[in-house]
């Protein structure tokens, strides 16, 4: 039993040390986001190659309507700004303000997802109809997965910023900053995706 | 930083290193995780080696008589996947990286210990899952490259399990890479400059950059491939309007850097071993650093040399031929640096040194055939023949696996406080070296004469050379026995090594062997010259 006890103690001590180095948790997150970005880069490269060298068969439907995705772009850009506001508010120790901004951000994320699903159900093509359709669903779906995860994380941290009882305060900003960076990253990916998928 | 180290040290003064049970626990200690990686990887190596032996037995005769053809394909696929994703990548990165990097940067653990443990514990389940797929409906049959349309048309369940386990292993690799980058960049002991780090740190930094930049692309590709298999989309299926060459581009964007992920850490390890056993500073430290980083940059832009016969346009062939040939420059610099390190040194002939020298010999041969393969006219002639198999194994077995063994002989005293037996070690080296060259050197000839790879049957004219190759493979299988006996005997009643049996100067030897849980009693030493051998002010006989 002593072995297990002492190993637990080591683990405890090691995690305590981790608390002192907030800076490299952020560094690790940035590295992870670079890796995540490379996944998208692979998808984008595949999509652009298909566009260049694989002509679609005659009569394939691939025209996209612009209004919904444009609304979605605006939603995500605004949500980035509201998230930024949440961080600023927390820095001034206005926890309830910060929480309100976070809930607004999550709300925008949810609307984005609803719009995305609405678009899916009203598109004239399905996943396996042609190469363009498959790539479209793979790209937007993978991005939508990121938005879903981000929204869940925002809801969690908005719960944790509640005044006095929460663990996220102006002295422990890391969780909020980490999710914020992730959220901006997902927004950035959406902008690229919007440009190459809908506009090009 | 100082505060936290002091506090942690006080907390752990009373702690003793605990028993063997910790190797089966979700331990956060980087040394435990390193050993977990090594032992787990070695078990998979034995399985992958058994499969290789079965393949060589089959190939000892021209007809398909030992294994049914589809089982041969499954063994081939499993052998490649296990050896790459479960033995070489985890061991040469995960095992030695986790064990050594925190010592080299003067830290008490990796930057993210919990992520580190997660990264390791992803490996055994995905490996077992991969092997178990053989017993369900047959493992994947499309080789470790899983090229569509072959991977789409062969039986589905095995291929999907293959994809899932490679995705998990890729995730493990990415987590490890993030950890290494953060540890090397951010967790260095105060006062330790980047250009004072031991070479293995640089090698791991370069490797981890490659892991982080290229592995996600493979993950994305395999997700698309699984859509093709399960949902019948047409990304890579020409029948449905897809494009197989896109798969090859995306796959090789990971899998060419993967070769550097497998071999760069070995470059780092051999740069640690050679100076110690020849009592000379590492020759050309700065050029070594720049050539590692040069290989990282070039390694990302040479992938299409695997695809010269895939209808690549001439400009692409030209570009990738030139870029690939350029890689020979940094690699050649490193080779000459190692030779110059040995030159005029006080060389001790021991197992670690023998394996390292074996590495240099094999690697230069594999490197030369690599440059040859980069040239389009030659590549088209030998594409998909045994020449490629021979080249690849010269790099990955003759290079990396030799260094893994060399490193085990070198760092075994560090881990256990016992020496490994030299006689068995030299026997191990001799059988491995002879067996390896007997197995793979003839395959160059086979390839040049047109024997295709990955096929269970071949033209009877190749029988004799194939039999020689199979005898070599048998010797390689036998070579594991003295090694295992040696480990067993040394762990039970090996000679005590003392703290620093090699009189080495790199930081991991400046603590007790085996090291205490927190790596150092007191503060981590500042090692400004990890290779300061032969310095008149340094007394070699004085134990530190």
Is residue B172 scored above 70 in pLDDT? Answer: yes
Residues of chain B with pLDDT > 90: what percent? 81
Q: What is the ipTM of this complex?
A: 0.89
**Mean pLDDT value across residues A111-129:** 91
* B28 → closest Cβ in A11, A20, A25: A11
Is residue B10 scored above 70 in pLDDT? Answer: no
Q: How far is CA B473 from CA B427, B434, B442, B484, in A?
A: 16, 10, 12, 18
Smallest CA–CA separation between B472 and chain A, in Å?
41
CB atoms B186 and A27 under 8 Å: yes
Q: Which of B122, B115, B56 is nearest to B89 (CA)?
A: B122
Smallest CA–CA separation between A92 and chain B, in Å?
27
CA B360 to CA B247: how far, in whole Å? 34
CA B16 to CA A6: how far, in whole Å? 8
The pLDDT of residue B279 is 92
**Mean pLDDT value across residues B377-381:** 93
The pLDDT of residue B208 is 96
Contacts of A28 in chain B (CB under 8 A): 111-112, 115, 178-179, 182
The pLDDT of residue B46 is 97
The pLDDT of residue B422 is 93
CB atoms B212 and A45 under 8 Å: no
CB atoms A27 and B4 under 8 Å: no
Q: Does A48 touch chain B (CB under 8 A)?
A: no
Is residue B16 scored above 60 in pLDDT? Answer: no
Q: With residue A74 as reference, give the H or E element that holds it.
A: helix A67-91
Contacts of A15 in chain B (CB under 8 A): 28, 113-114
DSSP E strands in B329-414: the ranges are: none
For residue B1, give the 3-state DSSP assignment: coil
The pLDDT of residue B137 is 86
Mutation target among B182, B231, B251, B316 for the A interface, most CBs of A within 10 A: B182
Q: Which residue is closest to B179 within chain A, CA to CA?
A: A28
The pLDDT of residue A1 is 33
CA B16 to CA B110: how far, in whole Å? 20
The pLDDT of residue B535 is 61
Question: Residue B15 — pLDDT band, cuts 50, 70, 90?
Answer: very low
* B233 → closest Cβ in A15, A41, A127: A127
Question: Residue A18 — pLDDT band, cuts 50, 70, 90?
Answer: very low
Contact B265, B96 (CB under 8 A): yes
DSSP of B231-295, one letter per residue? T---SS-GGGT--HHHHHHHHHHHHHHHHHHHHHHHHHHHHHHHHHHHTSPPTTHHHHHHHHHHH
* Residue B423 CB contacts under 8 Å (≥ 6 apart), including other chains: none
Q: How far is CA A200 from CA A47, A63, B33, B246, B501, in A?
A: 12, 11, 48, 20, 65
Is residue B359 scored above 90 in pLDDT? Answer: yes
CATH for A32-199 is 1.20.120.80
Is residue A90 scored above 80 in pLDDT? Answer: yes
CA B436 to CA B427: how far, in whole Å? 14
Q: Does A18 touch chain B (CB under 8 A)?
A: yes
Question: Residue A170 — pLDDT band, cuts 50, 70, 90?
Answer: confident
Contacts of B517 in chain A (CB under 8 A): 10
CB atoms A131 and B231 under 8 Å: no
Smallest CA–CA separation between A28 and chain B, in Å?
6
**Mean pLDDT value across residues B182-196:** 91
Which residues on neighbouring strands pair with residue B452, listed in sequence order?
B385
DSSP of B436-451, one letter per residue? HHHHHHHHHHHHHTTP
Q: Which two tokens stand for residue A34?
A: 């670079």
CA B533 to CA B505: how far, in whole Å? 8
Q: Does A164 touch chain B (CB under 8 A)?
A: no
**Mean pLDDT value across residues A71-92:** 93
Sign of CA dihedral A120, A123, A126, A132: negative
Contacts of A130 in chain B (CB under 8 A): 234, 240-241
Question: Tokens 């980083």 label which residue?
Answer: B293
> What is this structure's pTM?
0.91
Q: Does A17 touch chain B (CB under 8 A)?
A: yes
CB atoms B240 and A131 under 8 Å: yes
Q: Does A52 touch chain B (CB under 8 A)?
A: no
CB atoms B28 and A14 under 8 Å: yes
CB atoms B216 and A13 under 8 Å: no
CB atoms B233 and A31 under 8 Å: no
Is residue B12 scored above 50 in pLDDT? Answer: no
* A10 → closest Cβ in B12, B221, B224: B12
Smallest CA–CA separation between A139 and chain B, in Å?
10
**Mean pLDDT value across residues B151-164:** 93
Q: A28-77 pLDDT, tens per residue?
A: 999 999 999 999 999 999 999 998 888 777 777 677 888 899 999 999 99
pLDDT top residue among B528 and A146: A146
CA B513 to CA B497: how far, in whole Å? 8
Sort residue B216 into left (φ over 0), alpha (ψ -120 to 50) or beta. alpha
CB atoms B18 and A21 under 8 Å: no
CB atoms B15 and A6 under 8 Å: yes
Question: Residue B133 — pLDDT band, cuts 50, 70, 90?
Answer: very high
Domain B24-510 has CATH 1.20.210.10: yes
Is residue B493 scored above 90 in pLDDT? Answer: no
The pLDDT of residue B18 is 62
pLDDT top residue among B371 and A17: B371
Cβ-based contacts under 8 A for chains A and B: 157
pLDDT top residue among B64 and B398: B398
Q: B30-42 pLDDT, tens per residue?
A: 999 999 999 999 9
The pLDDT of residue A61 is 67
Contact B55, B72 (CB under 8 A): yes
Question: Residue B478 — pLDDT band, cuts 50, 70, 90?
Answer: very high
Q: Helix/strand/coil (H, E, C) string of B56-123? A: HHHHCCCCCCCCCHHHHHHHHHHHHHHHHHHHHHHHHHHHHHHHHHHHHHCCCCCCCHHHHHHHHHCH
**Mean pLDDT value across residues B217-230:** 95
Mutation target among A12, A26, A28 for the B interface, most CBs of B within 10 A: A28
Q: Does A35 touch chain B (CB under 8 A)?
A: yes
Smallest CA–CA separation between A82 and chain B, in Å?
30
Mutation target among A8, A17, A53, A146 for the B interface, most CBs of B within 10 A: A17
CB atoms B243 and A50 under 8 Å: yes
Radius of gyration of chain A (CA): 21
Contacts of A3 in chain B (CB under 8 A): 18-19, 21-22
The pLDDT of residue A19 is 40
Domain ranges of chain A: 32-199
Q: Does A40 touch chain B (CB under 8 A)?
A: yes
Mutation target among B29, B185, B246 for the A interface, most CBs of A within 10 A: B246
CB atoms A17 and B108 under 8 Å: yes
Q: Which two tokens stand for residue B202?
A: 């640089």
Contact B92, B210 (CB under 8 A): no
Q: How far is CA B528 from CA B339, B512, B525, in A?
A: 24, 20, 9
Mutation target among A2, A16, A35, A49 for the B interface, most CBs of B within 10 A: A35
Question: Residue B536 — pLDDT band, cuts 50, 70, 90?
Answer: low
Q: Which two tokens stand for residue A181?
A: 């960076």
* A38 → closest Cβ in B181, B213, B234: B213
Is residue A173 scored above 70 in pLDDT? Answer: yes
The pLDDT of residue A9 is 47
Mutation target among B217, B222, B237, B243 for the A interface, most CBs of A within 10 A: B217
Q: Which residue is closest to A55 within chain B, CA to CA?
A: B241
The pLDDT of residue A128 is 85
CB atoms A39 and B216 under 8 Å: yes
Q: Which residue is closest to A129 within chain B, CA to CA?
A: B233
The pLDDT of residue B17 is 46
CB atoms A134 and B234 under 8 Å: yes
* Residue B498 CB contacts under 8 Å (≥ 6 apart), including other chains: B413, B513, B543
In degrees, rounded to 5, the angle at the alpha carbon of residue B241 between the alpha carbons of residues B239 and B246 is 105
Question: Residue A5 — pLDDT band, cuts 50, 70, 90?
Answer: very low
Contacts of A32 in chain B (CB under 8 A): 174, 178
CA B433 to CA A140: how far, in whole Å? 52
Mutation target among B23, B187, B204, B234 for the A interface, most CBs of A within 10 A: B234
Smallest CA–CA separation between A61 and chain B, in Å?
14
Average model confidence (pLDDT) across chain B: 91
pLDDT top residue among A2 and B236: B236
């Amino acid at each position: 039993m002593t072995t297990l006890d002492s190993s637990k103690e080591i683990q405890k001590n090691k995690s305590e040390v981790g608390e002192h180095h907030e800076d490299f948790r952020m560094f690790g997150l940035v590295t992870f986001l670079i890796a995540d970005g490379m996944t998208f880069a692979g998808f984008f490269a595949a999509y652009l190659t298909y566009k260049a060298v694989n002509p679609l068969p005659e009569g394939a439907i691939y025209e996209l309507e612009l209004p919904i995705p444009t609304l979605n772009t605006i939603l995500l850009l605004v949500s980035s700004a509201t998230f930024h506001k949440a961080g600023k508010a927390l820095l001034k120790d206005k926890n309830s303000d910060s929480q309100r901004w976070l809930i607004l951000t999550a709300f925008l994320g949810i609307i984005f997802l609803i719009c995305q699903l609405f678009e899916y159900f009203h598109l004239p093509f399905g996943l396996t109809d042609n190469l363009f359709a498959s790539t479209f669903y793979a790209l937007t779906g993978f991005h939508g997965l990121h938005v879903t995860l981000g929204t869940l994380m925002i809801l969690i941290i908005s719960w944790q910023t509640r005044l006095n009882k929460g663990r996220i305060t102006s002295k422990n900003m890391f969780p909020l900053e980490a999710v914020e960076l992730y959220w901006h990253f997902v927004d950035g990916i959406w902008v690229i995706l919007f440009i190459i998928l809908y506009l090009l | 930083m100082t505060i936290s180290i002091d506090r942690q040290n006080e907390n752990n003064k009373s702690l003793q290193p605990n028993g063997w049970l910790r190797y089966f626990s979700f331990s956060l200690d980087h040394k435990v995780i390193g050993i977990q990686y090594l032992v787990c990887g070695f078990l998979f190596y034995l399985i992958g080696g058994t499969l290789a032996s079965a393949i060589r037995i089959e190939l000892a005769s021209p007809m398909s008589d030992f294994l049914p053809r589809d089982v041969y394909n499954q063994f081939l696929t499993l052998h490649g996947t296990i050896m790459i994703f479960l033995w070489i990548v985890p061991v040469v990165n995960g095992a030695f990286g986790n064990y050594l990097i925190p010592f080299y940067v003067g830290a008490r653990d990796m930057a993210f210990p919990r992520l580190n443990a997660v990264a390791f514990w992803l490996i055994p389940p995905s490996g077992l899952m991969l092997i178990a797929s053989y017993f369900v409906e047959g493992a994947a049959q499309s080789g470790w490259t899983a090229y569509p349309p072959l991977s789409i048309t062969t039986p589905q369940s095995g291929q999907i399990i293959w994809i899932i386990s490679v995705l998990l292993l890729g995730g493990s690799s990415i987590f490890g890479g993030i950890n290494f980058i953060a540890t090397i960049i951010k967790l260095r002991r105060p006062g330790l400059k980047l250009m004072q780090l031991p070479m293995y740190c640089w090698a791991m930094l370069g490797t981890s950059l490659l892991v982080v930049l290229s592995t996600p692309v493979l993950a994305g590709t395999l997700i698309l491939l699984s859509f093709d298999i399960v949902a019948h989309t047409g990304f890579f299926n020409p029948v449905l309007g897809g494009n197989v060459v896109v798969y090859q581009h995306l796959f090789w964007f990971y899998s060419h850097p993967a070769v550097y992920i497998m071999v760069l850490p070995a470059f780092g390890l051999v740069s640690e071993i050679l100076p110690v056993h020849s009592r000379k500073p590492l020759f050309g430290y700065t050029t070594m650093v720049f050539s590692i980083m040069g290989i990282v940059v070039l390694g990302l832009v040479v992938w299409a040399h695997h695809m010269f016969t895939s209808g690549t346009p001439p400009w692409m062939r030209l570009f990738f031929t030139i870029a690939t040939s350029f890689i020979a420059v940094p690699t050649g610099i490193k080779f000459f640096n190692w030779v110059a390190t040995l030159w005029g040194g006080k060389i001790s002939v021991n197992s670690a040194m023998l394996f390292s020298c074996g590495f240099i010999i094999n690697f230069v041969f594999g490197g030369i055939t690599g440059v040859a393969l980069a040239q389009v006219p030659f590549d088209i002639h030998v594409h998909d023949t045994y020449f490629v198999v021979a080249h690849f194994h010269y790099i990955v077995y003759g290079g990396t696996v030799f260094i893994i063994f060399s490193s085990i002989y070198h760092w075994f005293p560090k881990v256990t406080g016992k020496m490994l037996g030299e006689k068995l070690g030299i026997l191990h080296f001799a059988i491995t070296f002879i067996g390896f060259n007997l197995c793979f050197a003839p395959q160059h000839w086979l390839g040049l004469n047109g024997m295709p790879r990955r096929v269970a049957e071949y033209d009877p004219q190749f029988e004799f050379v194939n039999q020689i190759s199979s005898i070599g493979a048998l010797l390689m299988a036998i070579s594991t026995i003295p090694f295992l006996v040696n480990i067993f005997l040394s762990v039970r009643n090996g000679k005590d090594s003392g703290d620093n049996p090699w009189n080495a100067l790199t930081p991991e030897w400046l603590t007790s062997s085996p090291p205490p849980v927190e790596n150092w009693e007191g503060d981590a030493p500042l090692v400004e010259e990890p290779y300061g051998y032969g310095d008149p002010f340094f007394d070699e006989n004085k134990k530190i």
